[in-house]
Amino acid sequence: MAATAASFAPLIALRPFVPLALAALLLLPIVLAIGVDSIDRVLRRLSVVTFGGYVDRSERKKNSRRHRLRAAQFPTTYRTYAATTILYSMVGALVGGILGLYVVWGVLKVLAIDQERAREILPTALEALSNFAGLGTLTPTELLTVMLASGLTFGLLAGLLTYWLRWWWPGHVAAVRMRSIEATMPHAIAFMYALSRSGMSFKKVLSIMAAHRRIYGATAAEVDVAVRQMDLFGRDMITSIQRMGRRTPSEQFREFSENLASVLQSGRNLAGFLEDQYADFQEEAEAQQEQLLNLISTLAEAYVTVFVAGPLFLITILVIIGIAGADTITPLRVFVYFLLPIGNLGFILYLDTVTARFGRGERMESLPPVATGLHDIRRATGDSEASVGAVTDEPRTDGGYANDGDRGRANLERLAIHRRIEWLRNRVGAPVRTVVRRPIALLYVTVPLAVFGTLFRLTNAGELTVDVVDDMFVQATLFVVATFAMVFEIHRRRIETIEAAVPDFLDRIASVNEAGLSMVDSIDRVRASDLGALGPEVDRLWSDIQWGSDIETALKRFERRVRTRTVSRVVALITNAMSASGDVSRVLRIAAAQAKADRRLKRQRKQEMLSYVVVVYISFFVFLVIIGALDAVLIPNLPDAAITPGAENPGQPSPAPQLGALEGLGTIDTEAYTVLFFHTALLQALLSGIVAGQMSSGDIRDGAKHAAILMSVAYLAFLVI
């Protein structure tokens, strides 16, 4: 019997973890359903079978929630989503109840510790918590009551939180889509206006707009709703547009849809209506930018007050309290290493949502392929043109291919292999071009180099001190941030110079096209002029045409090489306008006007943002000067580190030199405060640089430049100190 009991001892020891394992098993299908469609489908079917009837009978908030799901464009029905929400809430309640039991059990264990023992364990600053210790042993009935009450409470809270989050998420997605729709509406309406002026039917215009979601984003996705209504359900265009307006989360787009349906019903001039709408939304975009700039100015002042002056004031107060003899090094560390970064990251995330409407100039990554499929390639055989797939049984005696068809097939196989590895050859074979066009690719090299280089230096550094380790990590961080900042600055300037040349390029082509030349001849005539950064790409565009490509294919290849959003809009507009009419001069004028308006807004925004960047720089330098004064002037002139803050009996300082007015003050660990000030300055430099980049361009990547500058200044300042 003893042997049997001993064999079951490991299982008995694991018995307290059985509820935790049950909670993990309950959560596992829900977690897997995020990435596995089959599991998600099973859970949805189970939910509908179990709770579908209840959902049908329940009328509470059904209409508003259904509209929220449609506005977020979730690929599910209200009945399925509501039933799945109930299932997830029940699972959340069970898991929350189980975890609540463990939490309460741990709390009871802690509270059962003797008060004297608690005072020995807790730091001096937390001695007051020992008054809650010393809880007597509960009777089984009391323990069962406490555990059941806590489990039910935690379970109810977890279930309600899961239910609320499930219904909050569609509203959040809809709000994000609303901001995206209103940011892209001026460009989308300009696109529809230009195509309608080219003579294309409006139904075809809507279909083309829906097909260009990669360029026009959420607005194209909204138009796709009307296109699906027409193509899949056979509804007329006016009804489809009205349904599109009812489903959108944007009030502006809803108003535009209603007005558009009215114009189509009344037979008014559609092109004139779109022109008026484009002008109105362009003015609205300028007004919205002015509002955003005012908001960012307020945020800049709030940032300086809360995240620069506030931390500086708090750090100074805590240092003075520490000088008086209290242990403040631990609260300072919590504030510097935890609260300050968390607060700054929250501000950065909020600022990113605010500046999302700025329409960052960025490289387009998802572009459709242009090359012809291999099965369509044909080759000349002798005097005739034959398919590469033609095969004969005639043998060859020279040990070569059996026939020309085999040779062609082998060539195509080699070409297919080349196409599969072409992306690797292009990126590895031209690393400078790769990192300039995709700066994020540089991090794949610099981060491993920094990590392995730091590890190598640590293993060969001999005696390691805090200063040595800090220097190595700071230098590695500066290497990664500075190299990325330089490459991204080159990348950003390249995009800006190309997009700055687009309006002039379009105006010149429009002028030549108005004179009677075709699009091909217009490109030939314009390419000889000074087009700035766009000149080499236009020369390659003309080379494609000379080598036999049609104008549409050549323009799409031009788009793939440049890969900016402005050029993608222009190429989409020109290629579609040419299929409707040979006279594209009016379309080019509209595209040029849109590009000029974008450039004007961007220049205005850049000028306004410059003052906020200067404010961030000045506030950081003030922060650095005061931190440096504390470290270089105040701390060294205090009694030396007889006792490190946080050690036992900090209130009993060891003898220190008499310093006149400072006699009787507590001793302080100058080295600990120096390290803390150094880390504070570096963290503030990194975070302030990111904020400055977001304020200047709306792109968090642009903050790498400012972060590298501020971190270098902070590092050099402490080296001098």
Return the SS3 of 582. coil
Final residue belonging to a domain, choices 253, 287, 321: 287
Give CA–CA dist 462/481, Å, rounded.
Answer: 27
Contact present, 500 and 599 (Cβ < 8 Å): yes
pLDDT of residue 357: 61
Residue 671 is assigned to a structural domain of this protein: yes
Residues 233 and 312 in one domain: no
pLDDT of residue 167: 92
Return the SS3 of 149. helix
Predicted confidence (pLDDT) per residue in 131-157, tens digit: 545 555 656 676 677 778 888 888 899
Residues 349 and 269 in one domain: no
CA 187 to chain centre: 22
pLDDT of residue 120: 55
Residue 192 is assigned to a structural domain of this protein: yes
Residues 306 and 280 in one domain: no
pLDDT of residue 160: 92
Q: Which residues pair with 564 in a beta bridge?
A: 363
Listed range (286-295, 616-625, 653-662) with the worst mean pLDDT: 653-662
Helix orientation angle between 140-197 and 270-303, rounded to the nearest 10 degrees: 140
Asked if pLDDT for residue 164 goes beyond 90, the answer is yes
Residues 342 and 316 in one domain: yes
pLDDT of residue 426: 62
Predicted confidence (pLDDT) per residue in 639-681, tens digit: 554 344 444 444 444 444 444 444 444 456 677 788 888 888 8
Asked if pLDDT for residue 382 goes beyond 60, the answer is no
Q: Which residue has the higher pLDDT, 559 or 168?
A: 168
Helix orientation angle between 237-247 and 251-266, rounded to the nearest 10 degrees: 160
When pLDDT is averaged across residues 507-518 and rounded to a whole number, the result is 82
pLDDT of residue 581: 66
pLDDT band at 194 (very low <50, low <70, confident <90, very high): confident
User: What is the per-residue DSSP string for 96-146?
Assistant: HHHHHHHHHHHHHHHHTS-HHHHHHHS-GGGGGGGGG--PPPPPHHHHHHH
Q: Identify which of 432, 700, 369, 367 has the alpha carbon closest to the alpha carbon of residue 563.
A: 367
When pLDDT is averaged across residues 603-607 and rounded to a whole number, the result is 80
Residues 29 and 169 in one domain: yes
When pLDDT is averaged across residues 205-217 and rounded to a whole number, the result is 87
Residue 489 is assigned to a structural domain of this protein: no
pLDDT of residue 658: 44
Residues of the chain with pLDDT > 70, as a percent, come to: 78
pLDDT band at 379 (very low <50, low <70, confident <90, very high): very low
Residues 209 and 66 in one domain: no
Residue 401 is assigned to a structural domain of this protein: no
Residue 269 is assigned to a structural domain of this protein: yes
Residues 21 and 167 in one domain: yes
Enter the pTM of the model: 0.71
Contact present, 201 and 594 (Cβ < 8 Å): no
pLDDT band at 119 (very low <50, low <70, confident <90, very high): low
Q: CA distances (Å), 104 to each of 143, 144, 161, in order?
A: 10, 11, 19
pLDDT of residue 449: 92
Residue 337 is assigned to a structural domain of this protein: yes
Final residue belonging to a domain, choices 238, 272, 287: 287
pLDDT of residue 118: 53
Give CA–CA dist 196/204, Å, rounded.
Answer: 9
pLDDT band at 633 (very low <50, low <70, confident <90, very high): confident
Residues 154 and 196 in one domain: no
Residue 381 is assigned to a structural domain of this protein: no
pLDDT of residue 469: 84
pLDDT of residue 57: 81
Final residue belonging to a domain, choices 146, 174, 202: 174
Residues 668 and 621 in one domain: yes
Residue 513 is assigned to a structural domain of this protein: no
Asked if pLDDT for residue 388 goes beyond 50, the answer is no
Residues 665 and 697 in one domain: yes
What are the residues whose beta carbons fall under 8 Å from the beta carbon of 300, sequence distance 6 or more? 612, 615, 616, 695
pLDDT of residue 367: 58
Predicted confidence (pLDDT) per residue in 40-61, tens digit: 888 889 998 888 888 888 777 8
Predicted confidence (pLDDT) per residue in 358-378, tens digit: 555 455 555 555 544 444 444
Total count of domains within the chain: 3
When pLDDT is averaged across residues 609-624 and rounded to a whole number, the result is 85
Residues 193 and 248 in one domain: yes
Give CA–CA dist 531/506, Å, rounded.
Answer: 11
Q: Which residue has the higher pLDDT, 618 or 120?
A: 618
Which long-range contacts does 244-248 make (Cβ < 8 Å, 24+ apart)?
Answer: 247/67, 247/70, 247/71, 247/222, 248/71, 248/181, 248/222
Which long-range contacts does 465-470 make (Cβ < 8 Å, 24+ apart)?
Answer: 466/671, 466/675, 470/675, 470/678, 470/679
Mean pLDDT score of the chain: 78
Residues 59 and 82 in one domain: yes
Q: Which residue has the higher pLDDT, 385 or 17?
A: 17
Domain that holds residue 299: 291-362+602-720
